Chain A
Amino acid sequence: QSALTQPASVSGSPGQSITLSCSGTSSDVGGYNYVSWYQQHPGKAPKLMIYDVSNRPSGVSNRFSGSKSGNTASLTISGLQAEDEADYYCSSFTTSSTQLFGGGTKLTVL
């Protein structure tokens, strides 16, 4: 199984909105509404930001939102803040009942 495809890097200015993409196949992203997103700051463990494509856990800012179209999922961060600078990983359930992660996107806040 191959990793989900994420752009290596994305950047934006404070206050802007940015969208991170996560591409898979009909056997993972496209086949289930089981895509989650994780934020990871340097030296820290990943933190759940979005689950089941578009749901936010309690305590996560409503500036974070998720969506999916076909085999591609997206994470949108609105009102970009300096603290949002981190690595972001998507994950999806698969037809083999395994779990796949994307390669990660480094978000830089200019």
Chain B
Amino acid sequence: QVQLQESGPGLVKPSQTLSLTCTVSGGSISSGTYYWSWIRQPAGKGLEWIGRIYISGRTIYNPSLKSRVTISVDTSKNQFSLKLSSVTAADTAVYYCARYSSSPNWFGPWGQGTLVTVSS
């Protein structure tokens, strides 16, 4: 079955760019009608959708983060990535990657999540 795994630095300095990669295993990122998404969760708080990408490269972002977010896909490596620029302490969170289906509408499976702390 398809599995997702996030990877990247656990500590990022304020004003720098957060970069994470999600590796998809057990299936091709190019197959089916799925999108590939990023979601984050600050400690003790709720989930926040960041955005998604289709294998064509088409992206849709959360309007509140749009100016700072870039999601890209590398089909040759079966990976997709997140870049969030000009980070502050408010961007400290567990970041999840997840497969997304628009219809039927659901997220799944999810990666295990990776904690990114923004601190000097």
Closest chain-A Cβ to B35's Cβ sits at a distance in Å of: 10
Q: How many residues of chain A are within 8 Å of chain B by beta carbon?
A: 27
Q: CB distance B112 to A51 under 8 Å?
A: no
Closest chain-B Cβ to A89's Cβ sits at a distance in Å of: 5
Check if A102 is an interface residue, CB within 8 A of chain B: yes
Instruction: Report the bound CA distance from A34 to B106 in whole Å.
Output: 8
Contacts of A101 in B (CB 8 A): 39, 46-49
Contacts of A96 in B (CB 8 A): 63
Q: A34-B105, A38-B107, A96-B63 are in contact. List 18 more A-B contacts (CB 8 A).
A: A1-B64, A36-B105, A36-B107, A45-B96, A47-B108, A47-B110, A48-B107, A51-B104, A52-B104, A55-B104, A89-B47, A93-B105, A98-B49, A100-B49, A101-B47, A101-B49, A103-B46, A104-B46
Q: Which residues from chain A sit less than 8 Å from chain B, CB to CB? A: 1, 3, 32, 34-36, 38, 45-48, 51-52, 55, 57, 89, 91, 93, 96-104
What are 16 pairs between A and B in contact, CB < 8 Å? Answer: A1-B63, A35-B105, A45-B113, A46-B107, A47-B108, A48-B107, A89-B47, A91-B49, A93-B105, A98-B49, A98-B63, A99-B49, A99-B100, A101-B47, A102-B46, A103-B46
